[in-house]
Structure 1
Amino acid sequence: MIRPLPLFAALLCAAACTPAQTDGIDPKGKTFDAVAPGEVVTLTGTEPFWTLRIAGTEGLWTTPDNQPGTAFAATRFAGNNGLGFSGTLDGKPLTATLTPGECSDGMSDRVFPYVATIALGGETFEGCGYTDSQPFTGPAAP
């Protein structure tokens, strides 16, 4: 699903990547550490179909129209309830977040361990995510 939201990238990071300040929780928060720095992270979505694969400091954005993909430099950042990546893709700012939560792509009968959201330019892409050590469950090739 694509939705244009002008300031979504900044708001997304503010919500998912900054320490929470709630009663009984350390205001400094605990940095999200469920995904090791060396793990490959894959975010994927439908309508339109897209995939973002991040290995180290390199992101690779693929779509049905661009199956070889477009590589870009990705910077990793973590908050207290998720992991984020930022970079520039084809001259547009990109911010991707991965937050814990069971996720379905609505098409494949797969269950993913993370919810994925990408802000690219003025568009928002919603989908699911997984890592090398935390894969999806369900059919490998639906």
Structure 2
Amino acid sequence: MYKEPAAPNWDDLLLVRAIADSRGMPGAAAEFRISASTVFRRLGQIEALLGVALFHRHRSGYELTPAGADIVALAQRLEVDIAASLRRVAERQELLAGELSIVVDETLPPLLVPSFAEFLRQFPDFCLHVTTVDRAPDLSAHDATIMIFANGEPSG
């Protein structure tokens, strides 16, 4: 019965690519800030995991096998896809904008102002309209996007 091979993690793919780019252990070790022996050991683990050699070892350096070339190509595609996804996420973040009407209990502004300020730092395209009242308004009137009220007696 066919068993799906175990998959290397992202760091494994990056390590294989670094070995390929530098054609050896010392360059990859420098890029990852680890020892060449650690790179050598980790490559052995990755190859054992995949069940295939990723490099031909020569005196002049390491040369990718066809399987190794596939892994490097995969790492490059994933890196491009990850960068594109992160850009899309950042663009969505920038699209968060609008107006919020907030009605708060008159006793709460000293407690809430720092939170409102932090919100506006994180989302500068929002406009907050804060109104204080001495009693809770009628919720069915939809006078606010958000209503914040203290309930009960102060403790202490």
Does TM-score exceed 0.5, indicating one fold?
Answer: no
More helix by share: 2
Structure ID, larger Rg: 2
Question: Relative CO higher for 1 or 2, CA cutoff 8 Å, sep ≥ 6?
Answer: 1
More strand by share: 1
Q: TM-score range by the shorter chain?
A: under 0.3
Q: Give the TM-score taking structure 2 as reference length.
A: 0.20
Q: Give the TM-score taking structure 1 as reference length.
A: 0.21
